[in-house]
Structure 1
Amino acid sequence: MSPKPTAPDAGPCRLDWDDLRHFLAIARHGTLSGAARALGVRQSTMSRRLAALEARAGAQLLQKTPDGYRPSAAGEAILGPVERIEAEADTVARTITGTDLRLAGSVRITSVETLATLVLMPVLAGFARRYPDIELELLADSRDLDLSRRE
């Protein structure tokens, strides 16, 4: 008889980012209900996600205590890396959606001349230095202007 073939080595377990995100929320809030509120899901979803993550990882990541959930030794070991993954995921989301942290565009401000000269100019000078990609246009005029005609 020939020996039975063995299953190929599966390698490290594959973790789901959403499960890690739920783990992180529970670790931060200490309760399933607090984490659920923060993520906009149900408490049962938090419990199910944690159980799925711990089953895939083969380790208990959070311990239930009288004061709430606390990271176990394994949970503490992955807390920092998961927070870095969260930061990188946020960066990817901003890049994909084009929601860059740098503000850019055009802003038009209309004011009476006295207010524009004495108050707005000093404030806008600092604003322009802080946000160089925003083009400021200050119109000192006392006429009534019509926004619908882009005045």
Structure 2
Amino acid sequence: MKVGNIVIVANLGELKVYEAMPRDLEAEAGLKPTHVKLDLVDEKCYSESHKKLHEILTDQAGRFKGGSQGRGTFTQGSIGEKHTIEQEIEEDVLRELAKDISDIIIQKSAPAYLALPDMICKRIVERISPDAKAKVVKTIEKDLIKVNKTELPNQF
């Protein structure tokens, strides 16, 4: 990792962007470009992934079209809510996360290092734009969102 590179750590709930800055005068002069410290540049929170399912859905069937109880007949219409809502919320967050990562990498136009949890890493990397993917130097399949920024350069 060199001065000017960016480090992006993320999971389904949070995204942090760090920029490698010179740690000492020798690094600033370009003599030791690998002596870096990370400064937090941007941070995002994805609140949809933090919500509990009972906060979004109810246990009432509601009034949906299709059901009729007139004249002694009963036809069952739609009497429930979506069963795939958890997957849809996760897909929305993954899509938004991949878009944000792509935008940051293209905007900074510097080599990038990514750290994503192993359960979502492949799904996010395949959604990143080709221009941004070309600038990714290394991807780690670990959740490093809570790791201290002083220890992050050692992970890459």
- The TM-score range, normalised by the shorter chain, is under 0.3
Higher helix proportion (structure 1 or 2) = 1
Query: What TM-score results when the alignment is normalised by the length of structure 1?
Result: 0.24
Higher strand proportion (structure 1 or 2) = 2
Give the number of the structure whose alpha-carbon radius of gyration is greater.
1
Higher relative contact order (CA 8 A, sep 6+): 2
